[in-house]
Amino acid sequence: MRDYIALAAKSHHEWWRYVVGAFLIFIIWQLGTIPFIGAVSYKLAIDGGDLSSLGNYETLMGTLDSNLTFFLMLLSFAVGFFGVWLIVKFFHNQKFKDLLTTRAKFDWRRVLVGFSIVGFFIAAMTIIDYELNAEAYLWNLKWDQFLILAAIGIIMVPLQTTFEELYFRGYFMQGLGVIFKNRWLPLIVTSIGFGLLHLGNPEVGKLGYVIMVSYIGTGFLLGIMALMDEGLELSIGFHAGNNLITALLVTADWTAFQTESILIYTEEPSVGFDVLIPVLIIYPIYLLIMARIYNWKNWKSKLFGKVNLPETES
């Protein structure tokens, strides 16, 4: 049986390398925020603004042109992507392909399937809600700004989401898997960690910690995809489709991405049982669709079984 996690055993996989490597990737990722912080600081300085407000999310989002802000926000993830490649290649001596998939070649068709499934659903649900609740939306389509947004999004959003997949479903999942030699611990730790990554998002401040159910649930969804399919192609496509289509279609003044999207949601958000609907109903449907397409079997062993490392384990 192909084993995505066990691929890491072909390279340097001592536990301390993953501790150091994860830290170095994080530092490189954070270095990518310097252009954004620098641009906001410069704009505040020339406008006579208060530099002490740099830690305020509204200041970061509202100081620059929205498309420039969007680009600079995503730039740090592109730098983080480079950081993953750097650490994997030179610190672990691992083939980058082995961080991505067990297949002989990276499967772009799987990326397209993952992207299409979630993209179609988000577009359909947005159109339906707009038709039923049009007063909750402001039509915001300005072609000059939207086309710039689309160009930035098509290039930068996949870099953002692929970095997150490589860091969590790739580097951390493989690392934890080869260290503890099981699949359930990496799934749980990376899913919760992915959710906690979004703890600083403005949605959490607006909606409360209950929204973390959605973020952590999404982490589990993406982790299950990676383990069942023995590769990251589906989760990479799904994550990119979710973020890109959302950024292009609709935004609000309380979301992480405040873009020149087609629609602006203007009503005050509320959270109730509906936060559980995607996690308990929609996500299982996604998994069933993919399981049918790719004939997934052995769910118990793939999600909770042991990781059998090669005899050449170092």
pLDDT, tens digit (0-9, with 9 covering 90-100), for 277-302: 889 999 999 999 999 999 999 999 99
Over range 211-221, report the average pLDDT. 95
CA dihedral of 84, 85, 89, 95, whole degrees rounded to 10: 110
Residue 12 has pLDDT above 70, yes or no: yes
pLDDT value of position 314: 42
Give the closest residue to 236 by CA, choosing from 140, 152, 118: 118
- Say if residues 206 and 258 touch (Cβ distance below 8 Å): no
How much is the pLDDT for 57?
75
Q: If you average pLDDT over residues 64-68, what whole number do you get?
A: 93
CA 241 to chain centre: 10
SS3 at position 86: helix
Share of the chain above pLDDT 90, in %: 80
Say if residue 311's pLDDT is above 70.
Answer: no
pLDDT at 273: 74
Task: Provide mean pLDDT across the span 256-283.
Answer: 88
For the chain, the average pLDDT equals 93
**∠ CA 211-76-149, rounded to 5°:** 75
Q: How far is CA 219 from the centre of its chain?
A: 9
CB 206 within 8 A of CB 269: yes
**H helices within the chain, ranges in order?**
15-31, 34-46, 57-62, 66-90, 96-100, 108-132, 143-164, 173-180, 184-197, 202-207, 212-229, 233-249, 276-277, 283-294, 299-304
Joined tokens for residue 98: 């082995």
Cα–Cα distances (Å) from 269 to 17, 70, 265, in that order, read 43, 23, 9
Q: Which two tokens stand for residue 61?
A: 């989002």
Whether the per-residue pLDDT at 51 is higher than 80: the answer is no
Q: What is the mean pLDDT of residues 41-69?
A: 83
Average pLDDT rounded to a whole number, residues 160-187? 97
pLDDT on residue 313: 45
The percent of residues above 70 in pLDDT, for the chain, comes to 98
Residue 74 confidence class, pLDDT cut points 50, 70, 90: very high
pLDDT of residue 163: 98
pLDDT at 63: 84
Instruction: State the average pLDDT over residues 201-225.
Output: 92
